[in-house]
């Protein structure tokens, strides 16, 4: 009896140790694999207005001071801040994308010119500005010349459609107007400028919209999904690039969101989709 008991205890101890070793090795491997992924993964930040909301859609605005803390943090941590187009070129050319981050600004608000452009220049950053064509020159939106100035300063202009209609809600016959004509108008307005990037209004799309976006000449499109961009994403799903929504939270929340998006991107790349985190 006691011999059997001793054997049993030995066996259990060995099994326990094996499990612990296996778990430790798995954790070690996942950590290593994650770090390898982070070396190429590129987060895309999603901003709207930078400055005072003045009682206007507060959730879309980040104060100038908060925005500068983001730029300062990224700059101090060795991040290279670029546009969607630049990121795509880096992946296509096989350049290192380690510590690369994409800055995007949706809707074409006036402060993108008055507040954002000087700060981006200060931190040697470029960005993609997604403009709503029908809003150009309207109250609180950038004018034609201000957008031209962004282009002259090396920024990328992308389409955020003509009317900011939710593409999944509109009659399919209007898709060419919102997608193809917005590209055409921007080309005409800005001296032959070729638009290749799109931001879906409210991040909404489906398989039919993806097909139309491709047909109308877009190479890259940003969504409201979580995650980061890798070489594989650029090759397989360039019209469904994930972004990190940035609001006026403090720098610690900013860092958490960044870390979180690398993990979501990593898990997606390994085939694990975390849909329930989408709204974070």
If the CB atoms of residues 83 and 230 are measured against Zn ion, the closer one turns out to be 83
Single out the segment in contact with Zn ion by CB under 5 A; choices: 98-106, 227-235, 246-254, 262-270.
98-106
Site for Zn ion in 101-120 (CB under 5 A): 106-107
Residue with tokens 């609001």: 247
Minimal distance in Å, beta carbon 164 to Zn ion? 6
Residue for token digits 């960005």?
A: 127
Contact yes or no for 108/153 (Cβ under 8 A): no
Tokens read off for 209: 């919209």
Min dist CB 222 to Zn ion, Å, is: 11
Strands (DSSP E) along the chain, which ranges?
Answer: 44-47, 49-50, 61-62, 80-82, 100-107, 128-131, 156-159, 197-199, 220-222, 244-245
> What does the angle CA 270 – CA 276 – CA 280 come to, to the nearest 5 degrees?
100
CB 248, min distance to Zn ion, A = 17
Contact yes or no for 34/263 (Cβ under 8 A): yes
- Measured from the CB atom, the residue of 107 and 269 that comes closer to Zn ion is 107
Q: Return the number of the residue (185 or 245) whose C-beta is nearest Zn ion.
A: 245
Nearest to 233 by CA among 81, 102, 107: 102
Nearest residue to Zn ion on Cβ basis: 106
**Least separation in angstroms between CB 117 and Zn ion:** 19
Written as six digits, the tokens of 59 are 């959730």
Residue with smaller CB distance to Zn ion, 38 or 222: 222
CB-wise, 61 or 91, nearer to Zn ion? 61
Applying CB under 5 A, what is the total number of residues that bind Zn ion? 2
- The minimum distance between CB 236 and Zn ion, in angstroms, equals 25
Contacts with Zn ion by CB under 5 A lie at: 106-107
């Amino acid at each position: 009896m006691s011999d059997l008991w001793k054997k049993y205890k030995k066996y259990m101890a060995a099994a326990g140790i094996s499990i612990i070793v296996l778990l430790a090795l798995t954790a070690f491997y996942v950590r290593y694999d994650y770090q390898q992924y982070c070396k190429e993964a590129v987060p895309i930040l999603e901003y709207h207005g930078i400055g005072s909301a003045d009682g206007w859609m507060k959730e879309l605005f980040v104060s100038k001071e908060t925005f500068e803390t983001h730029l300062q943090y990224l700059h101090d941590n060795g991040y290279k801040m670029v546009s969607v187009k630049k990121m795509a070129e880096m992946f296509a050319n096989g350049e290192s994308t380690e510590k690369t981050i994409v800055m995007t600004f949706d809707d074409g608000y006036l402060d993108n010119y008055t507040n954002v452009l000087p700060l981006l220049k200060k931190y040697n950053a470029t960005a993609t500005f997604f403009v709503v064509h029908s809003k150009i020159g309207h109250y609180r939106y950038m004018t034609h010349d201000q957008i031209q100035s962004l282009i002259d300063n090396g920024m990328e202009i992308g389409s955020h459609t003509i009317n900011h209609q939710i593409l999944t809600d509109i009659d399919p016959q209007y898709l060419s107007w919102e997608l193809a004509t917005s590209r055409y108008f921007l080309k005409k307005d800005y001296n032959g400028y070729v638009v290749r990037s799109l931001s879906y209004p409210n991040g909404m799309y489906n398989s039919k919209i993806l097909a139309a976006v491709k047909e109308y000449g877009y190479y890259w499109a940003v969504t409201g999904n979580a995650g980061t961009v890798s070489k594989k994403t650029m090759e397989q799903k360039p019209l469904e690039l994930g972004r990190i929504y940035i609001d006026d939270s403090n720098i610690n929340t900013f860092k958490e969101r960044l870390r979180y998006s690398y993990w979501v991107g990593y898990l997606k790349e390994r085939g694990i989709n975390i849909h329930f985190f989408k709204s974070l």
